[in-house]
Amino acid sequence: MEITVHDQKVFALAAAFTLEQARERAWDHKTTAFGAFSRLLLRPRGDEITVASIEKRFDPLWHAVAHKRLVYDRGREYRVPVADQTVRSVTIDGRDYPVAQGPAPTFILRGVEHCEEDVRASLLVDGVSGEETPSPAALQAPREEVTDLAAFAPADAVVVPPEVKASQVVQRLVQRLLTPYEADQVFEERIEVEHVHLLYAPVFAFEYVWAARGKKAVVEFDALSGQVRTDGRAFQQQVRRIFNRDVLFDLGAETINLVVPGGAIPLKIGKALLDRQRAKP
């Protein structure tokens, strides 16, 4: 088995909605954010709720795509039905095959199956929680490559560092492709991880205050899809961690082994990436 990882890049995704559009849509959900109990029993008036603060965030998403290629042979027995109960044997290419008698007479042919498997798989993973997240808008949005991750600091926005590393995403993706198969002879067995991309998706978060009840709630607006969430994360102003690309993209033969039944599989880095790493001072 050979596993190779190729393209590793970081991209900032362009917002499809403005702050004002986000503010208007989030405002329509402000009472929902305080929960069903507060909404139905306490019945807050619109003028009792105010916007305490607004935050623009870039949330991390990992997107990885891989392709598995298998070429192998395996022996098989084929039971061939015979329609006539009187048949005792069948001759094929000069060889006689006895017919097993019974309610459904058959004879057995032995052959070799020449098999090829080409399978693709992809993952889109929340870089904080590690959960898979369906987000077509994130994959379709215009993007700009971030060449210096440590210097990525958009104006008036918080960039959230991933808690999940590239190796964890690649492990999960590869394990999904490592399905069992039966073979007598294997000619080709490889997995190509075509790319591992860290995508930064823009989000607007609005913190609302219901002063009369001493309550706070956060509404999030996805600036790519326009979806609104009323169970938003706490504000991230305190996040100012230094980014380290080598730590996040912790992929290399010396740093990771994918453990599978029967032993460890070394993970290889594509030649272009190796050349780039060797060029670093």
How far apart are alpha carbons 134 and 123 in whole angstroms? Answer: 9
Contacts 24+ apart (CB under 8 A), 246-250: 247/165, 248/149, 248/162, 248/165, 248/166, 248/198, 249/8, 249/165, 249/166, 249/196, 249/198, 250/165, 250/166, 250/167
> Which position has the higher pLDDT, 83 or 250?
83
pLDDT band at 250 (very low <50, low <70, confident <90, very high): confident
Q: Report pLDDT digits (tens) over 92-125.
A: 999 999 999 988 999 999 999 999 999 999 999 9
Q: Within 13 Å and on the Cβ side, how many CA atoms surround 227?
A: 11
With 90 as the cut, is the pLDDT of residue 268 above it? no
Check residue 241 and give its pLDDT: 57
pTM: 0.80
User: Out of 39-43, 132-136, 250-254, which region has the weakest mean confidence (pLDDT)?
Assistant: 39-43
> Which position has the higher pLDDT, 176 or 277?
176
